[in-house]
Amino acid sequence: MSHNGMQQRVIVTAGGSGIGRAIVDRFVASGALVHTCDVVPELLEEVIAGSDCVSGTLADVGKPTDVENLVAEAVSAMGGIDVLVNNAGIGGPRAALEDVSYEDWDRTIGVNLNGMFYCIKNVAPHMKAQNSGCIVNISTASAKVALPMRSPYVASKVGVLGLTHTVAREYGPFGIRCNSILPGLIDNERGRGIVATQAKERGITPAEREAEFLEFISLKCWIDPTEVGDLAVFLASPAGRHITGQDIGMDGNVEWEI
């Protein structure tokens, strides 16, 4: 519930699958209204059909006009915005930096970093008007340790941290908080798929590749997507009312990545 006793009104970007879907589900479970978006119509329809508390817009956050439409439809559907969860992101290419195409670099930065700017830019006036708001940006544990062959992704996600800190300072006087979550090795189809693909490339078994990942995670653990959702819900709750400008790992402490 929000401070004024009304339902929290939450935007979650890319809520059709993966971490985004888990975040939508956890906010719904907490009693919130959620407006989400996705680029895949079928996934968007599925998450909307899953709950009366969810509405949605087909949108690519890398396109400013799509984001303007998303925020307008969210305000129309929910009557305002209390929480923005910037979850949308793409992995980008896996290649040596010199082999990354200009287009792949631009697209990765365009979705992962520009997309968060577009969303915050369009949501901020609504939050300022009510003198409250919570923004949660999804970064990655890789932002702490860097990751060879993933320069566009890591650069975009480190950029997210700088954006988070600046928004926290700039908008704090208006009662708006901004934090980032840095997820680790995610235990879902995509996370398991990454391990399997990399194992195949290296000529080792998925179990061997998994062991390499876990060797440099202090708690030797995978992270369930719902854990990221629960952390987002906590940050948006009254219990998180004085937490801002923070980069919070939900990763078992990723010490290094290879």
Residues recognised as catalytic:
153
**Three-class DSSP labels, the chain:** CCCCCCCCEEEECCCCCHHHHHHHHHHHHCCCEEEEEECCHHHHHHHHHCCCCEEEEECCCCCHHHHHHHHHHHHHHHCCCCEEEECCCCCCCCCCHHHCCHHHHHHHHHHHHHHHHHHHHHHHHHHHHHCCEEEEEECCCHHHHCCCCCHHHHHHHHHHHHHHHHHHHHHHHHCEEEEEEEECCECCHHHHHHHHHHHHHHCCCHHHHHHHHHHCECCCCCECHHHHHHHHHHHHCHHHCCCCCCEEEECCCECCCC
Read off the tokens for 193: 């798929």
Distance CA 219, CA 43 (A): 33
